[in-house]
Amino acid sequence: MKFKPEFTSIEAGQRGLFRFVTTDAGSGIAYYEVRILSISAGNDQTTAFVETTSPYQTPALQSGSYRLIVRAYDAAHNFREAEVSFAVGGTAAGFGLTGASPLFISLIVISGLALAAILYLLFALYRSHTRPQRIARDLATLSRDIAQHRQEARRLEDIYRRTTASSSAAIKSELHSEEPRSERPATLE
């Protein structure tokens, strides 16, 4: 079984996220098991092997140095093992900022803030440039909508006038066509 897991720490701080991938040309990978060993003095957070999938997120760990051991089992229950060391407690696994000077960390923080400010200014510039175009487009759309509504209102008003005119003409003609009634009493035959 060819086994070369790839570990990538995604989160810094108290929890780590690890990805591992392997293949087995014979019977295929059945499952993975992981175990965390504490390698710091005075830290007894060592776990037993537990079955898992990739990516694997560690439980909350105390500050210190650890080793993650991954076993890949094939369908025939053979396994291969690989491991990676990482640190917890204000350091990012895989980056090794444990002994970094405060000046270095300050420079990283200031650089990050400067980059964020530049990105914000670029976004604000983009928004201010595109805003007049959006307003002009919205005004053109509103003008078209108003013209359509005025045209519809004129059409409905014309229909109303024709209906009203034809109704009053019909009523007048009906009134003039009736003959006056004679006042003779009706007789029964």
pLDDT tens per residue, range 125-182: 888 777 778 888 888 888 899 999 999 989 988 888 888 877 777 777 776 765 555 5
Break the chain into its structural domains and give their ranges.
17-90, 100-171
178-184 contacts: CB < 8 A, separation 24 or more? none
Question: Residue 183 has what pLDDT?
Answer: 56
Most confident of 11-15, 26-30, 43-47, 177-181: 26-30
Give ∠ CA 156-160-166 in degrees, rounded to 5.
145
The single-letter DSSP state of residue 13 is: S
Q: How confident is the model at residue 42 (pLDDT cuts 50, 70, 90)?
A: low
Topology given in CATH for the domain delimited by 17-90: Immunoglobulin-like (2.60.40)
Q: How confident is the model at residue 92 (pLDDT cuts 50, 70, 90)?
A: very low
**How much is the pTM?**
0.42
90-94 contacts: CB < 8 A, separation 24 or more? 90/12, 90/13, 90/63, 91/12, 92/9, 92/12, 93/9, 93/12, 93/16, 94/7, 94/8, 94/9
